[in-house]
Amino acid sequence: MTADAPGVDSAQGGSAQIRTGLVGYGYWGKKLLAALQGGQDFLPTRLHFPSLKGLPPDQRPRLPGVELTEALGTLLDDSSVEAVVLATPITCHGDGVRAALLAGKHVLVEKPLCVDPAEAGDLARLASQRGLHLQTEYTWTFSPSLCEAQRLVRDGWIGSLSHVQVRLHQLGRFRDHDVYPLLVSHALSILSLFVDLDQVTWSRLGGVSRDGAATTVMLSGRGAEALTVVIDASLDDPERDRTVLILGEEGSISYRPLGPGPSLLAVRYDRRPQSEVESVELLRRELDYDESDNIGQALAAFARVLRGDEASNLEQSVRITTLMAQLSGLETARLLEGTR
């Protein structure tokens, strides 16, 4: 993506709200539409989802101000639509992004950008050639707690970084995709806030597969200056968990948005033995952020990108798709080894 890609203001004469089309109206699409309508940045004017054409009029959703569009092409041909938000199945991401870019629309797509690294690179080049913005909605990277954790690490509050661990557990539905695009992609996006992913060498510690698809996996990586990272991702756990642990030479940061207590706990301490106490706590910061509107935070970030206030996460998105494919390749190699 070129740094001088035009923002919506310059392209559309400074409109107060960004006229937007939404593609997809499943579980996440409904959440996105509510967030689009509830925010100040976007004006959703069109909605397309594939099953709409088969719905009789009395079963179609009634959405004041939003025109239901049976054909995707009708939405994309609407010159008043400036941006498209894609909430489609992962297998449709690449085709949907390409079609929207070719129609001259800025795009926000659900994670991951796509599953094929070559396709991810092609989409990035197309966006650059067309002077358009392409952003992936990696929800956790817009978490106010994790953004504050990133600031604390950047400011050296816990000293030099030594270890980052991301644990994402839930009970999955085991349909079209395994744990890699569903959860590992999220974990990589979180890690990218704190670690240069290009400097990490990965290995697979263990996991579970069902019918050839990985549902639980634990991955370990080693980065520069002895930094270690761990991804613990599972679609097999009935207890939902989201935890990030960040260790530094002078303290630690813990992110636990689902449990009781603060969403972010940062502690500075002296690791040197003192009398009978191995670690003496020096400073404790409990920060409790509202983690209920991370979709709204993601949309606000997309608006800033469109208005030229910040760069998109396109490079990060391509890198995550590439690394996700490499890590999934470790899984495939293991499965193939088991059949010999």
pLDDT score, position 1: 39
Cα 264 from Cα 256, distance rounded (Å)? 7
One domain, residues 28 and 104? yes
CATH classification at residue 305: 3.40.50.720
One domain, residues 217 and 69? no
One domain, residues 203 and 68? no
Does 2 reside within a domain? no
270: left (phi over 0), alpha (psi -120 to 50) or beta: beta
**Count of other CB atoms within 10 angstroms of residue 301:** 20
Cα 250 from Cα 279, distance rounded (Å)? 10
Does 53 reside within a domain? yes
Cβ within 8 Å of residue 123, ≥6 positions away: 94, 97, 98, 101, 113, 114, 134
Q: DSSP label at 274?
A: B
Does 237 reside within a domain? yes
One domain, residues 251 and 173? yes
Q: What is the DSSP string of 227-251?
A: -EEEEEEESEEEEEEEEEEEEETTE
One domain, residues 162 and 83? no
Does 219 reside within a domain? yes
Does 197 reside within a domain? yes
Q: Which of 269, 303, 267 is nearest to 287 (CA)?
A: 267
Handedness of CA 167, 290, 297, 33 (dihedral sign): positive
Domain count, the chain: 2
pLDDT score, position 280: 60
CA dihedral 12, 18, 24, 26 (to 10 degrees): 180
pLDDT tens profile 31-50 = 999 999 999 999 999 999 88
Q: Are 111 and 136 in contact (CB under 8 A)?
A: yes
pTM for this prediction: 0.89
One domain, residues 124 and 206? no
pLDDT along the chain (340 residues), means of 10: 51 71 92 94 94 75 87 96 96 96 98 96 98 97 96 96 97 79 97 96 92 92 94 96 96 93 92 58 88 93 96 97 91 51
Burial 14-38 (b: 16+ CB within 10 A, else e): eeebbbbbbbbbeeebeebbebbee
One domain, residues 167 and 278? yes
**Count of other CB atoms within 10 angstroms of residue 60:** 10
Does 234 reside within a domain? yes
One domain, residues 164 and 229? yes
Does 314 reside within a domain? no
Cα 308 from Cα 315, distance rounded (Å)? 16
One domain, residues 202 and 305? no
Does 91 reside within a domain? yes
Distance of CA 298 to the CA centre of its chain: 9
Whole domain around residue 179: which residue ranges? 141-288+324-338
Cα 197 from Cα 260, distance rounded (Å)? 31
pLDDT score, position 172: 80
One domain, residues 135 and 215? no
Cβ within 8 Å of residue 223, ≥6 positions away: 195, 196, 199, 200, 201, 229
Cα 235 from Cα 172, distance rounded (Å)? 4
Burial 104-113 (b: 16+ CB within 10 A, else e): ebbbbbbbbb
One domain, residues 257 and 113? no
Give the angle 254-256-261 at the CA atoms, nearest 5°. 100
pLDDT score, position 175: 63
- Residue 124 corresponds to which amino acid? A
One domain, residues 103 and 179? no
E-strand stretches of the chain: 18-23, 42-48, 67-68, 83-86, 106-110, 134-137, 161-171, 201-210, 213-222, 228-234, 236-248, 251-255, 264-270, 280-287
CATH classification at residue 274: 3.30.360.10
